[in-house]
Amino acid sequence: MKSMTIIHVLFLFSLLSSIPHYSYASVNDFCVADLKGPDSPSGYNCKPVSAVTADDFVYSGLVAGDTNNTFKAALTSAFVTDFPAVNGLGVSAARLDIAKGGSIPMHTHPGATELLIMVEGEITAGFMTPFALYSKTLKPGDVFVFPQGQLHYQVNSGKKKATAFLAFSSANPGAQLLDLLLFGNALSSDIVAQTTFLDIDQVKKLKARFGGKNLSKHMSM
């Protein structure tokens, strides 16, 4: 009898864990975000339906970004904080512009799969796993998918500006750029050099470029 009770309890736990996570938008037809309130795993609270208009479902901001920066690239986003109508829908978009010689460095999106749709120019893109590299040079009309959480990159490998549109499986995909994580912090240059096998002078140069601090490993934080 006791063993049967344990089995029933285990079954109940497995059933509960299999229930999908619901956002506000999946319970209602939609949920235009009220950005004045807090964000949560379910998304933002909904704007009152009586205050929603057709304009809420249109975003006109995917224009060319400024590529005059370290990466010679610009990402113009239509995430939930830009386009509140995608709140809870598990989707968002962006525009990617990369000048000649520019790139988007190694990065991940922990919470989303990314779809890249080529529009203009040429981009060499790829992602890697512990066991393989998947890389391809893309032309207009090509589509490349980056699975969720995989380390990936995009490089303008052509002779002119490159443009692509991006789609994400999250209203707020987030991003972790490897260069900024390694060199845009206050971790001592000595430790960064020891853990990356880079020359200490090169580490200091990269920290200066990405806004990090060149602290001694003996200095308290």
Mean pLDDT of 58-83: 96
Annotated binding site for oxalate: 109, 114
In this predicted model, what pLDDT tens digit does every residue of 133-149 receive, in sequence order? 999 999 999 999 999 99
Annotated binding site: 107, 109, 114, 152
Residue 182 or residue 95, greater confidence: 95
Q: Percent of the chain, pLDDT > 90? A: 66
Mean model confidence pLDDT for the chain: 87
Residue 72 has pLDDT above 90, yes or no: yes
Length of the chain: 221
> Is residue 56 a contact partner of residue 48, using CB atoms and an 8 Å limit?
no
Mean pLDDT of 143-168: 97
pLDDT tier, 214 (very low <50, low <70, confident <90, very high otherwise): confident
Annotated binding site for Mn(2+): 107, 109, 114, 152
Note the pTM of the prediction, 2 decimals: 0.80
Q: What are the residue ranges spanned by the domains of the chain?
A: 49-174, 176-220
> Is residue 31 a contact partner of residue 43, using CB atoms and an 8 Å limit?
yes
> Is residue 45 a contact partner of residue 34, using CB atoms and an 8 Å limit?
yes
Q: What is the CATH architecture assignment of 49-174?
A: Sandwich (2.60)
